[in-house]
């Protein structure tokens, strides 16, 4: 722990010192007792952008430590955590960056920085190995354990001093103001992305509501009549893709709408015999399915290709599965040219039928498709198929709608949070109401130390902020002791 700060009459305050950074102001000298290191002399000074510089000189520790509030994207606007840089220089965390006056601990030069640490809640082990290395003779290696122990002791002493500073809130706010423009742009970018995502979610939400209304409307609508199976067979000529006539098919309707929307045909013709099932496209997700599906055999289930029987034979080859044309695909007696024709070799495996068999089977599928599409009760069959799937689809749509509502509420809350954070960063750039004349910006620096109202008993993570309060998610901090007069 750091020893209590000496009274004002025992401290030395100067405006320049050989060990100080040229931009540093308000130097404060004192001595602290550091475990494993001994008594060290410290010259503390305030630098632009909320940085606190500590020049340390002692028997086993010398060099410069710069304490910087950890202002990062998605972090607290006024952060509780700080990061200690080793040496004077830029804010890079990489140990590749060579800084001036890097600390020498136990005879070992240490480069890099500490991890982000909360001075009010320091862990038992600071983890200096994560972002720090030992530098020497053009090489870098792991900080020795004994050196790391003494380095952690120095860090604890300096962070204890920083924790009790009376100007701690000013430093935090100055660091936040320095990065306010960048952080505000980051928040605005995320807010714009959230608005776009919200617009997409609301569009999907409106489409889901329309779908719920369409499905419930279909359930309430009177059923359109569906014709019974025709007593007499029909004769359909069929052709190959070149227009050559392959023969005539005798087609008899066995079942109509037994499986909603589907018709089972018994087909007999030139080298063709067996059952075919024709109905609306089974993969069509519309409330009233359109499209077409022509299957080999008598299908008794909607999707399973294993639940069918009486597969037809074409050229003596037993065929399985089926064909679903695309919605934009025009169907004539000669096109599409080549349609699926395969023979099953297992429950989930098949192989292609011979070319001549596929040519004849394609003609049969085209003829049956056109015959089904010409039915006068086609719309009634399609509505029957939609009505059969309506309860399941209605439940799925309502479930999706509930998820969309939850997603919209979550995105709206996140958007509000991002907009609030952007406004807080903008407020940091506004001129302070009570500027402090005793702290001036040094030549060449980018922004002055922005003062806050005078320290009080409030938490350092919840400081006065332009008439409102910006709080971090961390636990409250102490604002520290006031200096003795």
Please say if the pLDDT value at position 66 is more than 50: yes
pLDDT confidence tier of residue 332, bands split at 50, 70 and 90: very high
- Dihedral of CA 157/163/165/167: which sign? positive
pLDDT confidence tier of residue 398, bands split at 50, 70 and 90: very high
Residue 465's CB is within 10 A of a number of other CB atoms, namely 19
Beta pairing, strands 322-323 & 342-344: unpaired
286 compared with 135, residue with greater pLDDT: 286
- Minimal CA–CA distance to 62: which of 46, 42, 47? 42
What's residue 473's pLDDT? 36
Which residues contact residue 267 at a Cβ distance below 8 angstroms, ignoring those fewer than 6 apart? 249, 250, 251, 273, 274, 275, 276, 312, 364, 368
What's residue 412's pLDDT? 97
- Minimal CA–CA distance to 280: which of 256, 260, 252, 258? 260
Distance CA 404, CA 272 (A): 51
What's residue 141's pLDDT? 86
What's residue 434's pLDDT? 46
318 pairs with which residues across the strands?
A: 313
Average pLDDT estimate for 390-404? 96
Please say if the pLDDT value at position 472 is more than 50: no
Please say if the pLDDT value at position 110 is more than 60: yes
Which residues contact residue 332 at a Cβ distance below 8 angstroms, ignoring those fewer than 6 apart? 366, 370
For the chain, the three-class secondary structure string (H helix, E strand, C coil) is: CCCCCCCHHHCCCCCCCCCCCCCCEEEEEEEEEECCCEEEEEEEEEEHHHEEEEEEECCCEEEEEEEEECCCCCCCCCCCCEEEEECECCCCCCCCCCCECCCEECCEEEEEECCCECCCCCCCCCCCCCCEEEEECCEEECCCHHHHHHHHHHHHHHHHHHHCCCCHHHHHHHHHHHCHHHHHHHHHHHHHHHHHHHHHHHHHHHHHHHHHHHHHHHHHCCCCCCCCCCCCCEEEEEECCCCCEEEEEEEEEEEECCCCCCEEEEEEECCEEEEEEEECCCCCCCCCCCCCEEEECEECCCCCCCCEECCCEECCEECECEECCCCCCCCCCCCCCCCCCEEECCCCCEEECCHHHHHHHHHHHHHHHHHHHCCCCHHHHHHHHHHHHHHHHHHHHHHHHHHHHHHHHHHHHHHHHHHHHHHHHHHHCCCCCCCCCCCCCCCCCCCCCCCCCCCCCCCCCEEEECCEEEECCCCCCCCCCCCCC
pLDDT tens readout for residues 252-277: 999 999 999 999 999 999 899 999 99
Average pLDDT estimate for 197-206? 97
Token output for 87: 């040496």
Please say if the pLDDT value at position 428 is more than 60: yes
Using CA atoms, how far residue 166 sits from 117, 252, 433, 459, in Å, is 19, 97, 19, 12
- Minimal CA–CA distance to 153: which of 89, 82, 103, 102? 103
What's residue 263's pLDDT? 96
pLDDT tens readout for residues 86-100: 999 776 666 667 888
Top-confidence range, 151-155, 426-430, 440-444: 151-155
Q: How far apart are the first and last CA of the chain?
A: 24
Please say if the pLDDT value at position 152 is more than 50: yes
Looking at the chain, the whole-number percentage of residues with pLDDT higher than 90 is 64
Bond from prior residue into 227 cis (ω within 30 degrees of 0): no
Lowest mean pLDDT among 1-15, 169-183, 218-232: 1-15
pLDDT confidence tier of residue 27, bands split at 50, 70 and 90: low
What's residue 64's pLDDT? 96
What's residue 377's pLDDT? 95
Distance CA 477, CA 91 (A): 25
What Rg value do the Cα atoms of the chain yield, rounded? 40
Please say if the pLDDT value at position 482 is more than 50: no
What's residue 117's pLDDT? 94
Average pLDDT estimate for 428-447? 48
What's residue 387's pLDDT? 95
Average pLDDT estimate for 367-384? 95
Average pLDDT estimate for 349-377? 94
Distance CA 53, CA 29 (A): 12
Distance CA 467, CA 318 (A): 83
pLDDT averaged over the chain?
A: 82
Distance CA 130, CA 93 (A): 11
Please say if the pLDDT value at position 227 is more than 90: yes
Average pLDDT estimate for 30-42? 91
């Amino acid at each position: 722990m750091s020893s209590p700060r000496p009274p004002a009459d025992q401290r030395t305050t100067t405006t320049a010192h050989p060990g100080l950074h040229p931009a540093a102001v308000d130097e404060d000298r004192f001595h602290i007792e550091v475990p494993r290191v001994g008594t060290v002399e410290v010259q503390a000074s305030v630098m632009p952008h909320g940085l606190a510089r500590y020049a340390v000189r002692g028997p086993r520790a010398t060099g410069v430590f710069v304490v910087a509030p950890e202002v990062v994207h998605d972090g607290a606007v006024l952060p509780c955590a700080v990061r200690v840089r080793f040496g004077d220089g830029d804010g890079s965390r990489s140990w590749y960056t060579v800084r001036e006056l890097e600390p020498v601990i136990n005879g070992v030069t240490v480069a890099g920085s500490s991890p982000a640490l909360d001075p009010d809640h320091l862990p038992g082990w600071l983890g200096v190995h994560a972002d720090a290395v030992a530098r020497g003779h053009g090489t870098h290696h792991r900080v020795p354990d004994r050196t790391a122990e003494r380095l952690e002791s120095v860090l604890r002493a300096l962070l204890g001093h920083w924790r009790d500073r009376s100007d701690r809130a000013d430093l935090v706010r100055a660091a936040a103001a320095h990065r306010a423009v960048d952080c505000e742009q980051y928040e605005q970018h995320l807010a714009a992305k959230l608005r776009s995502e919200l617009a997409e979610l609301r569009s999907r939400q409106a489409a889901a509501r329309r779908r719920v209304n369409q499905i419930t409307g279909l359930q309430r609508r009177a059923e359109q009549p569906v014709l019974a199976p025709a007593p007499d067979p029909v004769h359909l000529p069929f052709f190959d893709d070149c227009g050559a006539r392959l023969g005539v098919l005798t087609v008899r309707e066995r079942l109509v709408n037994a499986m909603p929307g589907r018709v089972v045909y018994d087909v007999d013709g030139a080298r063709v015999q067996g059952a075919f099932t024709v109905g609306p496209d089974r993969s069509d997700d519309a409330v009233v399915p359109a499209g077409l599906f022509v299957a080999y055999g008598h299908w008794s289930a909607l999707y399973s290709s294993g639940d069918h029987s009486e597969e037809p034979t074409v050229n003596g080859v037993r065929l399985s599965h089926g064909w679903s044309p695309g919605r934009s695909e025009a169907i004539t007696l000669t096109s599409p040219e080549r349609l699926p024709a395969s023979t099953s070799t297992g429950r989930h495996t098949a192989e292609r039928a011979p070319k001549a068999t596929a040519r004849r089977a394609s003609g049969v599928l085209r003829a049956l498709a056109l015959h089904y599409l010409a039915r006068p009760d086609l719309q009634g069959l399609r509505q029957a198929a939609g009505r059969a799937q309506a309860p399941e689809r209605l439940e799925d749509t309502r479930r999706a709608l509930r998820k969309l509502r939850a997603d919209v509420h979550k995105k709206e809350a996140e958007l509000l949070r991002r907009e609030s954070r952007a406004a807080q960063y903008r407020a940091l750039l506004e001129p302070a109401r009570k500027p402090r004349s005793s702290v001036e910006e040094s030549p060449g620096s980018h922004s002055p130390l922005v003062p806050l109202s005078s320290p009080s008993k409030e938490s350092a993570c919840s400081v006065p902020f332009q008439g409102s309060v910006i709080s971090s998610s961390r636990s409250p901090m102490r604002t520290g002791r006031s200096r003795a007069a």
